[in-house]
Amino acid sequence: MSDMGTPLAVAVMTAGPRRRIHRAWAVAAVTFLVLLTSAAFRSSLGVLLVPIESDFGWTRTQTSAAVSLNLLVYGVAAPFAAALLERIGVRRTAVGALLLIATGCLATTVMTAPWQLWVLWGLVVGTATGSVALVFGAIVADRWFVARRGLVVGILGAAWATGQLIFLPLLAAAVDAWGWRAASLAIALTCVALLPLVAAVLRDKPEDVGLSPYGAAAAPADQPAADSVPASAVAAVAHAVAVLREVFWTKPFLLLAGTFFVCGWTTNGIISSHFVPAAHDHGMGATTAAGLLAVVGVFDIVGTIGSGWLTDRMDPRKLLAVYYGLRGMALLAVPALLGPNVQPSLLVVVALFGLDWVATVPPTVALSRSAFGPERGGIIFGWVFAAHMIGAALAAAVSGALRATAGSYTSAWLIAGALAITAAGCSLLLPRPMPAAQPA
Which residue type, as a one-letter code, is found at position 400?
G
d(CA 166, CA 164): 6
d(CA 55, CA 38): 25
Query: Which residues neighbour 260 within 8 Å (Cβ) at sequence distance 6 or greater?
Result: 360, 364, 384, 385, 387, 388, 391
d(CA 122, CA 1): 26
Sign of CA dihedral 121, 269, 1, 344: positive
* DSSP SS3 for 427: helix
Burial label, 26 (beta-carbon count in 10 A; 0-12, 13-18, 19+): middle
Model pLDDT for residues 23-56, shown as the tens digit of each residue: 888 888 888 888 888 877 776 776 787 788 888 8
Model pLDDT for residues 391-410, shown as the tens digit of each residue: 987 888 888 888 888 888 89
Residue 218: Cβ within 10 Å count: 7
| pLDDT over threshold 60, residue 76 | yes
pLDDT at 73: 84
Query: Which residues neighbour 250 within 8 Å (Cβ) at sequence distance 6 or greater?
Result: none
Phi-psi region of 179 (alpha: psi -120 to 50; beta: other; left: phi over 0): left
Angle between helical axes of 45-56 and 273-281 (0-180°, round to 10): 60
Q: For 183, how many CA atoms within 13 A lie in the half-sphere containing its CB?
A: 26
In CATH, the number for domain 20-211+231-427 is: 1.20.1250.20
Burial label, 345 (beta-carbon count in 10 A; 0-12, 13-18, 19+): exposed
Percent above pLDDT 70 for the chain: 86
214 has which bridge partners?
Answer: 145
Confidence of residue 147 (pLDDT cuts 50, 70, 90): confident
Ordered DSSP codes for 241-273: HHHHHHHTTSHHHHHHHHHHHHHHIIIIIIIIH
d(CA 356, CA 347): 14
d(CA 55, CA 214): 51
pTM of the model: 0.70
| pLDDT over threshold 50, residue 210 | yes
Question: Average of pLDDT values for 238-259?
Answer: 88
CA-to-CA dists, residue 24 to 21, 322, 391, angstroms: 8, 31, 33
* DSSP SS3 for 214: strand
Query: Which residues neighbour 357 within 8 Å (Cβ) at sequence distance 6 or greater?
Result: 161, 165, 267, 296, 297, 299, 300, 303, 304
pLDDT at 236: 65
